[in-house]
């Protein structure tokens, strides 16, 4: 009788249109080492490029740093207790490379760093929460920057050695790995615009070398996992993709081509190599053509050797997708040949629709259907067996009654649910960005993404649930949007 009642309730709810997230869908939240841990010089940790960048004046709003941040290095048990209290089942965090290898090389392994992540994972497991671990979320050991950073192809070997040490020490308890978080952000903001560490502004050149080395490093770690650990540890590993959605403003061939180019330069640049073994054709053609006119005897976009193509091809066990925003795009005439630049290579106009609410960050607007279009586009082009949305979130200026964040998440989660139920897209998890208010890179602590407020003026870094945390907890536990 009870069974029949439950069944009837299900049938009714379906017939009334209340869609439900699948039983095995994991709701969670995310964070990253430099943005939350603090303890920048404790227990043997080495310097990262973000320590150096934030300690140099003029780079970060209000001169903020991640020296203490949310103090999660000391308060991780509180973080896990909050995740548990909210009923979340997956936590995405990243490992600080220099906390484990102080100068980035295997010559010195910092056991205290390994112990910290072991304790965090143990605490998560005890609370029934799956760890989803990013090996690199931008805090490169400073020593490796001096060796060329993401310009140096040998960084792939250093990253491989680091990854092996992490798999060996932590891999028994981790089923989901991400090699690099948003390599596109590292390469454009770190090497093209210079707004992120290492603060270089080598337009039109370094950005592509950085993308190339990032793909080599990802592939190196993927194959180390695949050949040395997968059989025993049984996890999955991938490269993180950060993609927006784009709308051509008209359906003319030129605007549609601008859309395709924009997608390729921003999302295809990493998706195409890991799923198909090479850069998007439009990038190869555009960049080599402009390089030639600029007088180069080679393309500013490095060419993969056949061996590298084979190494990179097929190195995604699932898609880890960071998605926040949408843009409108249109054709523009090409910029004259002169200074090499990513923007000139891309050669499009872009804007936003006036109906889209804008967050505290001008780049971030709310266009919920965009995520459903994007999921379909990725599925049609790359056909991954599984998607996990590893970042999606909204920034404001703070406050506990964060209705803007609730309405953003409600819209995006509804569209993800439609993609699962109506479009048969296999999205198996969602880690909202972010669990805690945290160090938002060049914006310092001025922009808040957390579902949990952190009081940065309090030495205790007291955590307080915002209304969005309570709302999200209800979604996660009922598996329905606003039941």
Ligand X SMILES: *[C@@H]1O[C@H](CO)[C@@H](O)[C@H](O)[C@H]1NC(C)=O
Task: Report the residue from 350, 381, 426, 473 that binds ligand X according to the rule CB under 6 A.
Answer: 426
Kindly determine how many residues on this chain lie close enough to bind ligand X according to the rule CB under 6 A: 16
Which residues, 6 or more positions from 217, have their beta carbon under 8 angstroms from its beta carbon?
Answer: 155, 156, 159, 160, 179, 180
* Residue 268 Cβ vs ligand X, minimum distance, rounded to whole Å: 14
Using CB under 6 A, which of the segments 10-18, 41-49, 72-80, 307-315 binds ligand X?
307-315
- Pattern of binders to ligand X over 311-330, x per CB under 6 A? --xx----------------
Which CB sits closer to ligand X, 415 or 428? 428
Q: Does 230 bind ligand X (CB under 6 A)?
A: no
In terms of Cβ atoms closer than 10 Å to its own Cβ (0-12, 13-18, 19+), residue 15 is: exposed
How far is the C-alpha of 17 from the C-alpha of 70, rounded, in Å?
41
How far is the C-alpha of 177 from the C-alpha of 185, rounded, in Å?
19
Are the C-beta atoms of 75 and 69 separated by less than 8 Å? Answer: no
* Residue 104 Cβ vs ligand X, minimum distance, rounded to whole Å: 26
Token pair 């979320």: residue: 137
Using CB under 6 A, which of the segments 148-156, 271-279, 406-414, 444-452 binds ligand X?
271-279
Using CB under 6 A as the binding rule, the residues of this chain from 7 to 66 that contact ligand X are none
Instruction: Give which of 471, 451, 458 is closest to 400, Cα–Cα.
Output: 451
User: CA-based angle 199:140:197, to the nearest 5?
Assistant: 15
How far is the C-alpha of 454 from the C-alpha of 246, rounded, in Å?
34
Token pair 């850069």: residue: 279
* Residue 61 Cβ vs ligand X, minimum distance, rounded to whole Å: 14
Going by DSSP bridges, is the β-strand pair 463-465/452-454 parallel, antiparallel, or unpaired? antiparallel
Q: Does 403 bind ligand X (CB under 6 A)?
A: no
Which CB sits closer to ligand X, 274 or 365? 274
Q: Does 194 bind ligand X (CB under 6 A)?
A: yes
Task: Report the residue from 55, 309, 410, 474 that binds ligand X according to the rule CB under 6 A.
Answer: 309
Q: Residue with CB nearest ligand X?
A: 277
User: CA-based angle 296:301:302, to the nearest 5?
Assistant: 100
Q: Does 201 bind ligand X (CB under 6 A)?
A: yes
- Pattern of binders to ligand X over 332-361, x per CB under 6 A? ------------------------------
Residue 73 structure tokens: 């290095």
Which residues, 6 or more positions from 74, have their beta carbon under 8 angstroms from its beta carbon?
Answer: 38, 39
Measure Cα distances from 49 to 73, 110, 186, 432 in Å: 19, 18, 12, 26
Q: What is the CA radius of gyration of the chain?
A: 22
How far is the C-alpha of 345 from the C-alpha of 363, rounded, in Å?
21
Q: Does 381 bind ligand X (CB under 6 A)?
A: no
**Which one of the listed residues 123, 182, 205, 443 is annotated catalytic?**
182
* Residue 384 Cβ vs ligand X, minimum distance, rounded to whole Å: 9
Using CB under 6 A, which of the segments 126-134, 274-282, 330-338, 406-414 binds ligand X?
274-282
Indicate the Cα dihedral angle 37, 38, 42, 44, nearest 10°.
50
Task: Report the residue from 111, 376, 385, 403 that binds ligand X according to the rule CB under 6 A.
Answer: 385
Q: 27 forms bridges with which residues in the sheet? A: 430
Which CB sits closer to ligand X, 231 or 458? 458
**Which one of the listed residues 37, 391, 443, 453 is annotated catalytic?**
391
How far is the C-alpha of 21 from the C-alpha of 475, rounded, in Å?
9
Q: Does 428 bind ligand X (CB under 6 A)?
A: yes
Q: Does 278 bind ligand X (CB under 6 A)?
A: yes
Which CB sits closer to ligand X, 153 or 194? 194
Which CB sits closer to ligand X, 56 or 460? 460
Q: Is 391 among the residues known to form the active site? A: yes
Task: Report the residue from 277, 349, 369, 398 that binds ligand X according to the rule CB under 6 A.
Answer: 277
DSSP string, 142-210: HHHHHTTGGG-TTHHHHHHHHHHHHHHHHGGG-SEEEEES-HHHHHHHHHTS-SSTT----TTTHHHHH
Q: Is 37 among the residues known to form the active site? A: no
Which CB sits closer to ligand X, 56 or 201? 201
Using CB under 6 A as the binding rule, the residues of this chain from 430 to 459 that contact ligand X are 458
Q: Does 175 bind ligand X (CB under 6 A)?
A: no
Task: Report the residue from 55, 74, 276, 377 that binds ligand X according to the rule CB under 6 A.
Answer: 276
Binding residues for ligand X, rule: CB under 6 A, are: 193-194, 201, 203, 276-278, 309, 313-314, 385-386, 426, 428, 458, 460
The catalytic site residues sit at: 182, 391
């Amino acid at each position: 009788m009870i069974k029949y009642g439950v069944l009837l309730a299900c049938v009714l709810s379906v017939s009334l249109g209340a869609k439900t997230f699948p039983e095995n869908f994991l709701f969670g939240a995310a964070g990253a080492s430099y943005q939350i841990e603090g303890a920048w010089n404790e227990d043997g940790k080495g310097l990262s490029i973000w320590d150096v960048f934030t300690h140099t004046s003029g780079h970060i709003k209000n001169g903020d740093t991640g020296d203490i941040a949310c103090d999660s290095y000391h308060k991780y048990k509180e973080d896990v207790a909050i995740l548990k209290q909210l009923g979340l089942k997956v936590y995405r965090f990243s490992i600080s490379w220099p906390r484990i290898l102080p100068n980035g090389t295997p010559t010195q392994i910092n056991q205290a760093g390994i112990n910290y992540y072991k304790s965090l994972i143990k605490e998560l497991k005890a609370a029934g929460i799956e760890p989803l671990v990013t090996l690199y979320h931008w805090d490169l050991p400073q020593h490796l920057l001096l060796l060329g950073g993401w310009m140096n192809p040998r960084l792939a070997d250093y990253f491989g050695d680091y990854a092996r040490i992490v798999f060996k020490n932590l891999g028994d308890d981790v089923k989901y790995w991400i090699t690099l978080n948003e390599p596109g952000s590292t390469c454009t903001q770190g090497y093209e615009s210079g707004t992120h560490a290492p603060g270089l502004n080598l337009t039109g050149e370094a950005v592509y070398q950085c993308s190339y080395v990032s793909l080599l490093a990802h592939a190196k770690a993927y194959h180390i996992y695949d050949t040395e650990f997968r059989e025993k540890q049984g996890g999955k590993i991938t490269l993180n993709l950060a993609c927006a959605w784009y709308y051509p403003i008209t359906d003319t061939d030129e605007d549609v081509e601008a859309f395709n180019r924009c997608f390729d330069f921003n999302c295809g640049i990493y998706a195409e190599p890991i799923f198909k073994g090479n850069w998007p054709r439009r990038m190869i053609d555009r960049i080599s053509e402009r390089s030639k006119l600029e007088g180069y005897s080679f393309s500013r976009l490095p060419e993969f050797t056949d061996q590298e193509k084979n190494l990179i091809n097929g190195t995604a066990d699932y898609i880890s997708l960071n998605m926040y925003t949408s843009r409108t795009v249109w054709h523009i005439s090409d910029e004259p040949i002169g200074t090499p630049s990513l923007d000139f290579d891309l050669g499009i106009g872009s804007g936003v629709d006036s109906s889209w609410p804008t967050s505290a960050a001008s780049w971030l607007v709310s266009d919920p259907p965009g995520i459903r279009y994007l999921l379909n586009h990725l599925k049609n082009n790359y056909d991954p067996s599984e998607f996990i949305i590893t970042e999606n979130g909204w920034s404001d200026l703070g406050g506990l009654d964060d209705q803007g964040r609730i309405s953003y998440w409600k819209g995006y989660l509804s569209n993800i649910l439609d993609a699962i139920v109506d479009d048969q897209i296999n999205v198996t998890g969602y880690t909202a960005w972010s669990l805690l208010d945290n160090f938002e890179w060049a914006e310092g602590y001025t922009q808040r993404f957390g579902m949990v407020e952190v009081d940065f003026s309090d030495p205790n870094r007291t955590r307080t649930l915002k209304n969005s945390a309570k709302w999200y907890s209800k979604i996660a536990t009922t598996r329905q949007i606003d039941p």
